[in-house]
Chain A
Amino acid sequence: MIPVILGVVVIVFTISYFTPGDPAAAILGPNAEKASYEALRAKLGLDRPFLVQLGTYIWNIVSRFDLGKAYITGTPISEELIYRLPTTIKLGVLSIFVTVALGTPLGILSATKQYSIADYSVTTIALIVNAIPSFVLALFALMLFSVKLRWLPIAGVATWDAWILPIACNSLGYVALSARMTRTSMLEVIRQDYIRTARAKGLKQNVVIRRHALPNALIPIVTVVGTQLSFVLAGAIIVETIFSIPGMGMYILSGISGRDYPVINGTVLVLSVCVCVMNLLVDIAYAFIDPRIKALYMSPRKAKAHKSPKTAEVA
């Protein structure tokens, strides 16, 4: 994971290096004297070669977690981000949670009652909702629930019900995907021989599904959740801007409108790192669910015990 993060830092920095515009001019405004521009430029190290600047940037991040200062406000970016990160993460994690909580049962329903009305209607509705982009959905929802019906607050996160719309908008689109994936995975698992064995033991159908089918079906589902992570976090950004939630979304928006490149790039960097960490957590989760994968990660001594021993117990 570390090399990937390093690579991301390099890419983000390269993007900001090639961004047109003069940081000194952006900070001081257009009316300062020529000498002060040059002084500032020297101070910021903008006249040094690319690799030196890259090195300084990385060093700053690693040693002091310093992402630079915003052009416009002059406040250190890392401070702002740390302040806003929890909100965005909360939105993202809750969205994923809702996606799984809704998508999995719907998928199981579709799979066990294949070709029924329930199956078709779930699939169709899910497809339609999936197609509507989250920000469009968010705007519609805002219009309907907050403005016209006045059921839910319009902006901010002061009360708990302010979270409902943002989470809903960010998650519903993926509920479709999750339900679909669960359905496919369950259908695949239900065909397996060990399900037949479980039934032959006399277990009830829903016990068979719950104890034998579902845990095995989880593996592909966890994969899907993993891939959705990056989309959900990115989606969270946009949803935040619509509901005026004080998270990283609003911050990056302010950066965009002010052409404040350090802000934009810093936010992108931090979010990418978050996604990487979350993906790592997903990988770890795999090991917990599937003992075969756990065996891959174990120490060599334990791993040997896990392999089929060709001992005297032949057959």
Chain B
Amino acid sequence: MSLLEIKDLTIHYVTKDSIVKAVNGINISLEKGETIGLVGETGAGKTTTALGILGLIQSPPGQVVGGEILFSGTDLLKASDHEMRKIRGDEISMIFQDPMTALNPIMRVGDQIAEVVYLHGNCSRAEAVKRSIQMLEMVGIRAERSREYPHQFSGGMKQRVVIAMALACDPKLLIADEPTTALDVTIQAQVLDMMNKLKKKLGTSMILITHDLGIVAESCDKVAIMYAGRIVEYGSLEDIFHNVSHPYTIGLFGSMPSLDKDVDRLSPIPGLMPDPSALPSGCKFHPRCTSAWEECSKVEPELYEISPGHCARCLLFRKEGAVNE
């Protein structure tokens, strides 16, 4: 049984003006110890998916419209509030994007970590404090610093504290939402390195949300590319990097600046991500796709298998019929 199985997850934000279809029928599966990268531009629905797993979607206006989230067999969407609270922080943890604002500014750093340990750990307060210091040292922060406040730490160190807090209760699954985006590049490398080491050591599965394919290459076993709330390509790291298939993914790779080639201009994907409250008909990517033809605006493609474990949501890979280039 997989650790996490998301089936057909659909999440909408309903306001009186419009319905924002943030996530539309996502399917993901994750085994123990695996890391999946969830890649996409801003607005693709990645964070919403992550919040949906933990049940942290703001209920007006957000609603989970359909699907299942099976975590060790239990459907999280049907779990009660009480059960979800037991899972949060303990079996599933989440790290958010901006470390500068993720910590309570008037609470000591050690206390914030001890809080989650004490909540889930069934241990005494003293033991919780010991564990929090242990976690801090694991992320490379001296024990004395546990009595300090967040504003006394730099951005990278704050993110380490956040990671320490997330891993304190030994969760089975860690969801990291763009954990290094707000940090500068050298720090990024250090933090990623640390996360990879810890992940291996503790056997934690991870969903790594990012828009940076470089990070994906370093940390992930599987990749899911998201666009307009759907997964448009899914496969192992090898599949995606060596056999990239969906036009959007090709575009993503193509837009990355290359170290070997000498170009005058970068080549981004033309156009913008569609407005989630007014999605185009047929294939959601067709307005920006260089390989699109007429049928693409009418028929919404399914996920077609390219090779075992690798699929893409594009009519190019439809089994029956010839493929027009």
A residues with CB within 8 A of B: 192-194, 196-204, 211-212, 215-216, 289-292, 295, 306-310, 313-315
Contact = CB atoms under 8 A, between A and B. Distances in A.
Contacts of A201: 88-89, 93, 115-116, 119, 165
Interface string B71-106: 000000000000011111110011010100111111
Interface size class of B (residues with CB under 8 A): 35 or more
Contact of B102 (A197, A295, A306, A307): A197
Contact of A315 (B84, B93, B157): B157
B87 A307 contact: no
17 contacts: A196-B102, A198-B104, A200-B54, A200-B94, A201-B93, A201-B165, A202-B89, A203-B89, A203-B115, A216-B105, A291-B151, A292-B151, A306-B152, A307-B152, A308-B152, A309-B152, A315-B191
Contact of B86 (A202, A307, A315): A202
Nearest to A218: B106
B149 interface: yes
Given A201-B116, A315-B186, A194 B102 contact: yes
B101 A291 contact: no
Contacts of B56: 196, 199-200
A308 B85 contact: no
A116 to B, nearest CB: 12
Contact of A200 (B89, B148, B154, B156): B89
Nearest to A309: B152
Contacts of A310: 154
A308 B96 contact: no
Interface string B144-182: 000011011111110010100100000000000000000
A204 B102 CA distance: 18
B256 interface: no
B104 A216 contact: yes
Given A212-B107, A308-B152, A200 B85 contact: no
B187 interface: yes
B140 interface: yes
B88 A200 contact: yes
